[in-house]
């Protein structure tokens, strides 16, 4: 297919038209030219291909596929080869179903433990997130299927996700929030990037030429397609100018007409439209070459099991309680042992083709439910659990975040595990001190019982083979090799952004001090630090040395079990430029038999020491490089510079104030307010309803519609209902105008009425109606 020739045969209108989807999952075909439409489907921990009714919230059935562990789990593997295999397996399943692009991986930074979508993301550290994403992309694209890296950029909260503005200084943006994308793009070369719903420093990501062209294409060399998140296009004209190519799930007629007019009036260059249309067709061309071979689902199930086992993090293991003897008498306690929580809710929800729970896999263990699906318990349930635990040598209690607490579309309210589950763990460990807690969930939780429970095994959301993996780990058939990819604070209040996270506009007051960068530097004790994880074996580090810009370290398995170790390289500066106490600059996963040694290697480059200061610069001075318990110092000679940072950032302690943030930004930063009289099309029904009864009425209509149909009988705490309400009533009126099919004059009239201009509102409705 000669794309340039095809473009020369299309009218301007046709070129604009192919830059938006035909429907929720397809590009538009050009039938007269014999060009089919290309299919897309959600990921990232499996394939969510819908054949009948499509939706972005994971409600309607998808084809059965392998449900791998979600990113929160696989990130703990720190294993690029594993991520590559998973990407490849999902790619094979996609190719077998004729899907040309899988929407993933998600590489947003885990800024705060309450973000509802943290389970889909890898880490609080940009290097780890970027490298793992790159590996996944390489695996996927080896099958011919394009990966779509998302959500670009600074999309680290679900709260008001369609309206939110992420406000931060450029150093924070570059060093933390863009680095993961930069690494994944340079090392993974994804076919597509998905621009996020939010604004970045006041500009919609879909409108930002700086983000989508200057940084993404010109600086990082990205040559693929930019796709909007579903419904994220703000303006078709600005989108073309920015380099935002494909509007999904479809275009909006009036916006496309405006774009056509703008080309005729020469305020939009036709070359921008051509460039986007060319990139859409290049993707279609790639999708046309896919080979439709069946995927080996059994092999993928085995891979999902290996991934869950190798990613599991042994948080605690006093007196080597684990592994257990296969012949031991064990009590298995907890609703989740029967209904394992394997993944999160929302667009990434996979329909697993095979699924076992722990009760089926371990039928010899005596079972007690302990708590109900919603995490609540009763005295009777506790009594039964206690009795079952007392009659066994060991108790294994499976607890975790429930479906209702953790989902795309909204954030968690608290870091506390349900009261019923906490109560259960405390009662069981009192009845039987040989208790192992198996913890599930996509984000850290507070663990008031952590000191009294001898062993804690964190599985994250382990996918369809999770139960088998847990069983293999408990009995030592495999050895937990996972290390935490995020810090686990003692309590939510210890998290730097706890006092101001969860507002409509996300003010990144803490700057670069995210996760361990904050806890280490501000000396805040955590429950489990970034990188923590125990093993059934032990490792020794020695011979750390630098040779020709490569750091080497020898690692030996000095225990009795085969196992894997993740060597991590941290760089700590000794100069005065403000920066975290230490930063991860490399990692290396090794699998070692007892007595075996291997060498971890880390490439050291300027970037290992650099900070962003109108470009990457290396502050001169001494640096300590540490790997395990080994360290060495290196000196970097470079022109000194003294950035003028405000006091809190030089020595972070306690929490930054709004004034600290304004000092960092070098300008006034307004808190966003929603005021009757100045509501605009950028406000949502949800936020205006408290102040206007017209909007309250509109909200009631939306709510009634959402609570009907397939949701009839559900309550508002159901994750699907919450997500749908947030999507329908939480979008801006402008977004509603584009995506809901509601007539513009109705929305504009209602907006005027909500602002108190009743007569004008009625006039607008009548005039436009006519
Ligand atoms: C999500 C994306 C997803 C898309 C399509 C959006 O709401 O943010 O991650 O890929 O829907 O389902």
**Backbone φ and ψ of 361, nearest 5°:** -75, -30
pLDDT exceeds 90 at position 277: yes
The DSSP bridge pattern shows strands 64-65 and 351-352 to be: parallel
150 lines ligand 1 (CB under 6 A): yes
What is the average pLDDT value for the chain, to the nearest integer? 95
pLDDT exceeds 70 at position 434: yes
Q: Give the pLDDT confidence score for residue 237 in this predicted structure.
A: 98
**Sheet strands (E) in 548-677:** 550-557, 563-573, 583-592, 597-603, 611-612, 616-617, 621-627, 630-636
Distance 717 CA to ligand 1 centre (A): 21
Length of the chain, in residues: 770
**Sheet strands (E) in 43-135:** 64-65, 99-103
pLDDT exceeds 90 at position 735: no
HSE toward the beta carbon, residue 449, CA cutoff 13 A: 27
The model's pLDDT over 312-343, given as tens digits with 9 standing for 90+, comes to: 999 999 999 999 999 999 999 999 999 999 99
Closest alpha carbon to 618 in 575, 661, 657: 575
HSE toward the beta carbon, residue 475, CA cutoff 13 A: 15
Using pLDDT thresholds of 50, 70 and 90, give the confidence band for residue 7.
Answer: very high
Q: Give the pLDDT confidence score for residue 768 in this predicted structure.
A: 67
Please say whether the beta carbons of 192 and 210 come within 8 A. Answer: no
Q: Give the pLDDT confidence score for residue 641 in this predicted structure.
A: 72
pLDDT exceeds 90 at position 501: yes
Closest alpha carbon to 39 in 60, 25, 49: 25
Average pLDDT over residues 253-257: 92
Distance 16 CA to ligand 1 centre (A): 23
Using pLDDT thresholds of 50, 70 and 90, give the confidence band for residue 374.
Answer: very high
Closest alpha carbon to 684 in 670, 666, 698: 698
Q: Give the pLDDT confidence score for residue 176 in this predicted structure.
A: 98
492 lines ligand 1 (CB under 6 A): no
pLDDT exceeds 90 at position 671: no
pLDDT exceeds 90 at position 355: yes
Average pLDDT over residues 697-707: 90
pTM of this prediction exceeds 0.95: yes
230 lines ligand 1 (CB under 6 A): yes
Q: List the structure tokens of 23.
A: 């429907």
pLDDT exceeds 80 at position 577: no
Among 229, 272, 411, 505, the active-site one is 229
42 lines ligand 1 (CB under 6 A): yes
**Backbone φ and ψ of 590, nearest 5°:** -125, 140
Q: What percent of the chain has pLDDT over 70?
A: 99
Could you say which DSSP state residue 574 is in? Answer: -
The model's pLDDT over 187-225, given as tens digits with 9 standing for 90+, comes to: 999 999 999 999 999 999 999 999 999 999 999 999 999
55 CA: nearest ligand 1 atom: 12
Using pLDDT thresholds of 50, 70 and 90, give the confidence band for residue 590.
Answer: very high
Using pLDDT thresholds of 50, 70 and 90, give the confidence band for residue 737.
Answer: confident
Average pLDDT over residues 115-141: 98
Q: List the structure tokens of 19.
A: 């830059």
Distance 359 CA to ligand 1 centre (A): 34
Q: CB within 8 A of 124, min separation 6: which ones?
A: 109, 110, 111, 485, 486, 487, 514, 515, 516, 530
Report which protein residue has its CA nearest ligand 1's atom 2: 229
161 lines ligand 1 (CB under 6 A): no
196 lines ligand 1 (CB under 6 A): no
The DSSP bridge pattern shows strands 563-573 and 621-627 to be: antiparallel
The model's pLDDT over 509-546, given as tens digits with 9 standing for 90+, comes to: 999 999 999 999 999 999 999 999 999 999 999 999 99
pLDDT exceeds 70 at position 769: no
Using pLDDT thresholds of 50, 70 and 90, give the confidence band for residue 576.
Answer: low
Average pLDDT over residues 654-662: 96
Residue to substitute in 26, 40, 42, 104 for testing ligand 1 pocket (most ligand atoms within 8 angstroms of CB): 42
Q: Give the pLDDT confidence score for residue 720 in this predicted structure.
A: 86
Average pLDDT over residues 98-110: 98
Instruction: Sort 425 into a burial class: Cβ within 10 Å, 0-12 / 13-18 / 19+.
Output: buried
52 is catalytic: no
197 CA: nearest ligand 1 atom: 8
120 CA: nearest ligand 1 atom: 9
Long-range Cβ contacts of 381-385 (<8 Å, 24+ apart): 381/424, 382/423, 382/424, 382/427, 385/331, 385/333, 385/424, 385/427, 385/428
Please say whether the beta carbons of 333 and 395 come within 8 A. Answer: yes
SS3 content of the chain, % helix, strand, coil (to 5): 35, 20, 45
Q: Give the pLDDT confidence score for residue 719 in this predicted structure.
A: 86
Q: What percent of the chain has pLDDT over 90?
A: 85
Closest alpha carbon to 437 in 563, 280, 312: 312
């Amino acid at each position: 297919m000669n794309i340039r020739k095809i473009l020369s045969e299309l009218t301007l209108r046709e070129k604009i038209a192919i830059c938006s989807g035909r429907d929720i999952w397809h590009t538009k075909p050009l039938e007269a030219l014999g060009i089919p439409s290309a299919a897309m489907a959600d990921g990232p921990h499996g394939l969510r291909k819908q054949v009948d009714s499509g939706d972005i919230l994971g409600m309607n059935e998808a084809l059965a596929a392998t449900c791998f562990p979600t990113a929160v789990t696989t990130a703990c593997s720190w294993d690029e080869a594993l991520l590559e295999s998973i990407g490849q397996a999902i790619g094979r399943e996609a190719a077998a179903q004729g899907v040309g692009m899988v929407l993933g991986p998600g590489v947003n930074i885990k800024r705060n433990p309450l973000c509802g979508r943290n389970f889909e993301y890898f880490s609080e550290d940009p290097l780890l997130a970027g490298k793992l994403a790159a590996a996944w992309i390489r695996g996927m694209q080896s099958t011919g299927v394009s990966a779509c890296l998302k959500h670009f950029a600074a999309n680290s909260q679900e709260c008001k996700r369609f309206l939110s503005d992420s406000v931060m200084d450029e150093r924070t943006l570059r060093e933390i929030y863009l680095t993961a994308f930069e690494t994944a793009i340079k090392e993974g070369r994804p076919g597509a990037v998905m621009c996020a719903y939010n604004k970045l420093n006041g500009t919609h990501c879909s409108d930002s030429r700086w983000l989508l062209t200057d940084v993404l294409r010109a600086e990082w060399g990205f040559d693929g397609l930019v796709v909007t998140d579903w419904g994220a296009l703000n303006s078709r004209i600005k989108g073309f100018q920015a380099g935002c190519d494909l509007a999904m799930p479809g275009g909006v007629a009036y916006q496309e007409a405006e774009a056509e007019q703008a080309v005729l009036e020469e305020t939009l260059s036709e070359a921008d439209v051509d460039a986007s249309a060319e990139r859409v067709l290049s993707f279609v061309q790639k999708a046309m070459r896919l080979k439709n071979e069946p995927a080996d689902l059994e092999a993928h199930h085995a891979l999902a099991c290996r991934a869950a086992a190798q990613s599991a993090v042994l948080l605690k293991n006093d007196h080597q309680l684990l592994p257990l003897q296969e012949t031991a008498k064990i009590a298995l306690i907890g609703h989740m042992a029967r209904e394992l929580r394997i993944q999160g809710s929302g667009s990434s929800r996979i329909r697993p083709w095979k699924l076992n729970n722990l009760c089926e896999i371990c039928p010899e263990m005596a079972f007690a439910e302990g708590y109900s699906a919603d995490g609540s318990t009763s005295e009777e349930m506790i009594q039964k659990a206690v009795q079952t635990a007392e009659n066994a040598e060991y108790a294994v209690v499976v607890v975790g975040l429930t479906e209702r607490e953790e989902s795309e579309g909204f954030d968690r309210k608290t870091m506390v595990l349900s009261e019923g589950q906490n109560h259960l763990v405390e009662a069981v460990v009192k009845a039987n001190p040989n208790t192992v807690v198996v913890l599930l969930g996509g984000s850290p939780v507070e663990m008031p019982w952590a000191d009294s429970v001898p062993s804690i095994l964190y599985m994250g959301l382990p996918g369809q083979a999770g139960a088998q993996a847990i069983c293999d780990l408990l009995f030592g058939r495999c050895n937990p090799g996972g290390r935490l990819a995020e810090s686990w604070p003692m309590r939510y209040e210890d998290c730097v952004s706890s006092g101001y996270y969860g507002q409509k506009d996300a003010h990144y007051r803490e700057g670069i001090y995210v996760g361990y960068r904050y806890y280490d530097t501000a000396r805040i004790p955590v429950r489990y630090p970034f990188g923590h994880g125990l093993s059934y074996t032990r490792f020794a580090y020695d011979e750390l040395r630098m040779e020709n810009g490569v750091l080497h370290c020898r690692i030996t398995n000095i225990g009795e079990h085969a196992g894997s170790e993740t060597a991590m390289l941290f760089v700590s500066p000794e100069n005065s430029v403000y920066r975290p106490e230490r930063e991860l600059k490399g990692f290396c996963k090794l699998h070692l038999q007892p007595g075996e040694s291997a060498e971890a290697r880390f490439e050291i480059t300027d970037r290992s020491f650099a900070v962003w200061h109108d470009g990457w610069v290396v502050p001169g001075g001494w640096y300590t490089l540490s790997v395990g318990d080994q360290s060495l110092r290196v000196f970097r000679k470079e022109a000194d510079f003294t950035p003028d940072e405000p006091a809190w950032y030089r020595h972070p302690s306690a929490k930054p104030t709004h004034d600290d943030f304004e000092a960092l930004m070098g300008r006034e930063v307004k808190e966003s307010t929603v005021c009757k009289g100045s509501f605009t099309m950028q406000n949502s029904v949800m936020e205006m309803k408290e102040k206007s009864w017209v909007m309250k009425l509109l909200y009631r209509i939306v709510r009634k519609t959402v609570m009907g149909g397939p949701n009839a009988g559900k309550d508002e705490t159901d994750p699907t209902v919450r997500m749908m309400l947030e999507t329908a009533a939480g979008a801006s009126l402008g977004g509603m105008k584009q995506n809901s099919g509601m007539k513009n004059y109705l929305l504009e009239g209602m907006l005027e009425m909500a602002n108190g201009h009743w007569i004008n509102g009625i006039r607008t409705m009548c005039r436009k109606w006519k």
